[in-house]
Chains A and B, each alone.
Chain A
């Protein structure tokens, strides 16, 4: 079945440490890939997206993600985490052959990030 998996429900890191959040997908063809962040009480904000081309994608707030076709993964990274990065992070996909001009997102279950000062 088609799915998006975020294996880690909750991750805690110290401020200044590096971060990697995992995302795996299971689709026949590589879908379009996204990472969103949801701060407490807020809506979702797009961090970055991958459609094709360079497999290392730069996003906002110092985040980057690497697409690895062989591993069906699209992991989110940040070299040095700030306390303000504490939030919930969602990996999302849009299948390659979405029909009828609609590009609804299919989300993973999310990873909650806590940052220790």
Chain B
């Protein structure tokens, strides 16, 4: 158990819908990274938040957005869902924003778009 929690574990929804994925980092961790794992694209970085502020964006679609709240939990919002958005979404937390802070991964949320 990494100490990072993600809810829900599974999510099934229809095309065009909007969903919110939640991530609670380990106690004391200020950084939250979001990654997407799909069969065709593999594991890709989406976005990074540090202490409530966006630090970096990766291959994140405009239909996707995220935020980190004052209690440091983070939410990833996915809208106008398409079949291709079906994937496993991971968050990872680390103590700091620097390289020495190991990233601890949550168990993921499996999103299925039908």
Name A residues whose Cβ lies closer than 8 Å to a Cβ of B: 32, 36, 41-46, 49, 51, 90, 92, 94, 98-110
List residues of B (78-103) whose CB comes within 8 Å of A's CBs. Answer: 90, 92, 97-99, 101-103
Q: What are 24 A-B pairs with beta-carbon distances under 8 A?
A: A32-B99, A36-B105, A43-B92, A45-B2, A45-B105, A46-B103, A49-B102, A99-B56, A100-B56, A101-B50, A101-B55, A101-B97, A102-B48, A102-B50, A102-B97, A103-B97, A103-B98, A103-B99, A103-B101, A105-B35, A105-B45, A105-B103, A107-B44, A108-B42
User: From residue B63, how far is it (CB to closest CB) to chain A in Å?
Assistant: 20
**Bound CA span A103–B58, Å:** 11
The A interface is mostly helix, strand or loop, or mixed, namely loop
Report the interface size for chain B: residues with CB under 8 A from the other chain.
25
A residues less than 8 Å from B103 (CB atoms): 46, 105
Q: Nearest chain B CB to A53's CB is how many angstroms away?
A: 14
Q: Which of B1-20 contact A (CB under 8 A)?
A: 2, 4
Q: Which 6 A-B pairs have the closest CB atoms?
A: A102-B56, A43-B105, A104-B45, A107-B43, A101-B97, A102-B55
Residues of A contacting B43 in the complex (Cβ-Cβ under 8 angstroms):
90, 92, 105, 107, 110
